[in-house]
Amino acid sequence: MGEHARDQRRESGALEAEVMAVLWAEGVPMTAGQVHTALGASAPVYKTVLTVLGRLHGKGLLERERVGRAHAYVPRRGPADEVASEMNQALVRGADRFAVLQRFVDGLDPDDERALRDLLDSRD
Amino acid sequence: MYFTVYVLLLAPAVLVAAGPTVSRYLAPAAAVRVLTCLTAVAAGATVWALTVLAVGGLAHTAQVQAYAHSSPRRLAAADPVPYGFGVIAAALLATALVRLAATRWHRARELRALDAVRARPAAGDLIVLPADHADAYALPGRPGRIVVTVGMLRALPVDERAVLLAHERAHLTHHHHRYAAIAQAAAALNPLLGRLRDEIAFGVERWADEAAAEAVASRELAARSLARAALATTCLPGPPPALAYLRHRIAARVGALRATGPTSRRRRVWPAAVAALATAVALADATVALVRCLNTLLP
């Protein structure tokens, strides 16, 4: 496998993640066009979004329904998701997790909280 | 010659003292690598010094003498470690090894339990958990996964979500869990090294922050994403996370992203390099001493 092909495969994995993140964040059925818009400035071409949605549906991660002439996609949730989620909740509250997994943020000090709010407010 | 053994026992304290300088003057990726080397050398020095003292000191016992047919006088000449030191060193060594084993066991158990999360179907490398609280982490291993809750995805706008994904992906592609595992094992062997482990934990986050800022081509965007995610986690249910030291440092991470990009000033870390090198020399010398002692014991 050449360098280019490997790059492309990694890219498509990242794209699947981004599309899935959009669908979960919105939480309502979305067409390919809506997903494309929601991806914002970094969005790939519409056709690529359509391909990625088809692939995610093929993997059983999405459910789809017909809306007029297009398909609307929504994340498929099963009972296993809830179980995994609860277990995760119990696990990550455990003792020294630093060596097992790296988190994005790990809580916040009240003093820092105000400073961070100010930072966000200055631009919002 | 046995003086080097005591140098080895002091080495971890010196190497720990060098930690903050390394974090301050090196870019995060370089700092984490250097700190991990320092902590590994310090842990090695601890174990080896205790081993040499235990062997040297316990060699005075009658049973060992009888077994080895060596003369007490020759042994005393080759090895001036008092018996009492040997006993203490052996006890400390046993404690350190038990602590290491316990840490490894806990880690293996937690990773096994997380296999249930890893087994979920993933979109690319992403696993979404349908939970309302905000949380995100990188799950190392094969395959490595980014785990994010719906609560976290909803807390961030789309461009800041890209920062989050890039940050966690950086943990996976740069194998940050390996540095973490070395740091944790070292701190188990010698509790003094807990300070270096904390420096490494922070350095690893800074490294991923910088990688994410580069991926989205905006330090300001990365800072905002981090700030918003941190604020979203303040409504986390349950007891506060155990890693309180990271909590105090979100503001430091945000501040670093809002400053200009990090550059390494290698000259400033010379003292740390010299300390590590001196420790390595002392390690070699103590090994020679141990061999000499064993030769006397088993002629």
CB neighbour list of residue B216: distance below 8 Å, 6 or more residues apart: B159, B162, B163, B166, B222
Strand partners, B115: none
Question: Residue B201: its chain A contacts at CB < 8 A?
Answer: 98
Q: Which of residues 101-160 of B touch A (CB under 8 A)?
A: 103, 106-107, 110-111, 113-114, 116-117, 120-121, 123-126, 128-131, 133, 135-140, 146-150, 152-154, 156, 158-159
Element (H, E) at B129: strand B126-129
Q: CB contact, 8 Å: B299 with chain A?
A: no
Q: Which residues pair with A44 in a beta bridge?
A: none
CATH number of this structure's domain A3-75, picked from the four choices 1.10.10.10, 3.30.420.110, 3.40.50.1980, 3.30.70.360: 1.10.10.10
Q: What is the pLDDT of residues B87-141, one digit of tens each?
A: 999 999 999 999 999 989 988 888 887 887 888 889 999 999 888 888 888 888 8
| pLDDT per position as a tens digit, B260-286 | 888 888 888 888 889 989 998 888 888
Are the beta carbons of B247 and A19 separated by less than 8 Å? no
Enter the tokens of residue A6: 């490997």
Tell me whether B217 touches chain A (CB under 8 Å).
no
Dist CA B264 CA B235 (whole Å):
37
- How far from B89 is each of B58, B68, B70, B123, B291, CA to CA, in Å? 10, 21, 23, 52, 18
Q: How far apart are CA B14 and CA B2, in angstroms?
A: 19
Higher per-residue confidence, B146 vs B115: B146
Domain residue spans of chain A = 3-75, 79-121
Q: Which candidate, B28, B127, B73, B55, places its Cα nearest to that of B287?
A: B55
Residue B190 has pLDDT above 90, yes or no: yes
Rg of chain A (C-alpha set): 19
Instruction: Name the DSSP class of B241.
Output: P
Q: What is the DSSP letter of B119?
A: T
User: Pairing relation of β-strands A102-103 and B136-139?
Assistant: antiparallel
Ordered DSSP codes for B16-76 = HHHHHHHHHHS-HHHHHHHHHHHHHHHHHHHHHHHHHHHHHHHTTSHHHHHHHT--HHHHH
Sheet holding B136-139, edge to edge: A102-103, B136-139, B145-149, B126-129
pLDDT of B79: 60
Q: Give helix then strand counts, H and E, for chain B.
A: 13, 3
Give the closest of B169, B228, B250 to A112, CB-based. Answer: B250
Residue type, A40: G
Interface test with A, best of B135, B189, B235, B249 (most A CBs within 10 A): B135
Given a cut of 90, whether residue B70 has pLDDT beyond it is no
Buried b or exposed e, range B11-27, using 16+ CB within 10 angstroms? bbebbbebbeebbebbb
> Which segment, B11-15, B235-239, B246-250, is predicted with the most confidence on average?
B11-15
Q: What is the pLDDT of residue B245?
A: 40
What pLDDT sits at residue A66? 92
- Max avg pLDDT among B55-59, B131-135, B164-168: B164-168
What was the ipTM of the complex prediction?
A: 0.81
User: Alpha-carbon distance B189 to A65, whole Å?
Assistant: 57
Q: Are strands B126-129 and A70-75 parallel, antiparallel or unpaired?
A: unpaired
- Strand, helix or coil at A74? strand
